[in-house]
Amino acid sequence: MAAITAAMVGELRAKTDAPMMECKKALTEAEGDMGRAEEILRVKLGTKAGKAASRITAEGVVTTYINGNVGALLEINSETDFVAKNDEFMALANNAARLVAEHNPADVAALLALPLDGKTLDDVRSALIGKIGENMSIRRFQRFETTAKLASYLHSGRIGVMVDFDGADEQVGKDLAMHIAAMKPVSLSSDQVPAELIEKERSVAALKAQEDADKAVAEGKPVQSPEILAKRLEGSIQKYLKEVSLLNQAFVKNDKQSIEQMLKEKNTTVKAFTMYVVGEGIEKKQDDFAAEVAAQMAANKQ
């Protein structure tokens, strides 16, 4: 049996917003497997366990650059939100995005080697680090070059979207980018949803169905047949695919229409899109949160 530490409980709590003792129970049941513990909490607590799963722990900004049919989406990280609002930091981010669009670097290392104001971009970054006293790094970028049109949307500098679309109405592109930032689809269509995400959702749905069956047995109620349970499971997957694929989502400006219907009405097609959320997937140090968790756990035992 893996030892369940206060730090592990704190990490799971930060990811899920679930009660501390529920996190400890889930980790114990999962034998310390963090991903499995998250699934257990989703089954037991429903949507509550997923509310904070997308909480961003690293600071920085996402920025965009478009010049005609060429554009770039870029994320640059800093240690604190204070630096993320600094004018020189923003200038670094904007210049980096422009260099991506203009020079099409192969990766971040190639981008940092590009010239900027008589120096390299990395030299400018290093000088700013020395001036401000805080580390900052370019994490990722996506360059677009299209025969159609580009539109972008930034939400508070923390969510950035770029859309490659074909249509006469420029506003449709802007609306699409804003919709994506709000609804966060993972793919253009349901058949493009990554298999690993579908399997994870299938696992959660199956665990939930099993828990419902166990509860029915305990309460002396009829248990649904395997056929009905299979249909429930498939229904859950289809609902999930509809929720996370752009074309199937209800349009935020008119929930009576799907995005696919809106695009057809506007004679517009979407070729591709990319969305960045600042710090997505980055773990940030919790300031002695483990000690706080340990103290609260000890208090609960008294």
Q: Which residue has the tokens 């997505």?
A: 280
Query: pLDDT at position 208, please?
Result: 84
pTM for the model? 0.73
The CATH topology of domain 59-145 is: Tetrahydropterin Synthase; Chain A (3.30.479)
CATH number for 1-57+284-302 (one of 1.10.10.10, 3.40.640.10, 3.90.740.10, 1.10.8.10): it is 1.10.8.10
Measured CA to CA, the distance from residue 55 to residue 280 in angstroms comes to 8
Measured CA to CA, the distance from residue 210 to residue 252 in angstroms comes to 35
Cα distances (Å, whole numbers) of residue 204 to 35, 201, 207, 275, 283? 11, 5, 5, 25, 24
Query: pLDDT at position 287, please?
Result: 47
Cα distances (Å, whole numbers) of residue 60 to 64, 236, 283? 14, 36, 13
Q: What is the DSSP string of 112-153?
A: HTSEETTEEHHHHHHHHHHHHTS-EEEEEEEEEE-SSEEEEE
Give ranges for CATH 1.10.8.10 in the chain. 1-57+284-302
Give ranges for CATH 3.30.479.20 in the chain. 59-145
Cα dihedral 136, 139, 144, 150 sign: negative
Residue 89 dihedral angles phi and psi, to the nearest 5°: -65, -45
Question: Mind listing the pLDDT tens digit of every residue in the chain (302 residues)?
Answer: 578 888 888 788 766 656 677 788 889 998 888 888 888 877 776 544 444 334 333 689 999 999 999 999 999 999 888 888 899 999 999 999 999 999 999 999 999 999 999 999 999 998 898 888 788 899 999 999 999 999 999 999 999 999 999 999 999 999 999 999 999 999 999 999 999 999 998 888 888 878 887 887 788 888 788 788 788 888 889 999 999 999 999 999 999 999 999 999 999 999 999 999 998 877 555 444 455 455 555 555 55
Query: pLDDT at position 301, please?
Result: 54
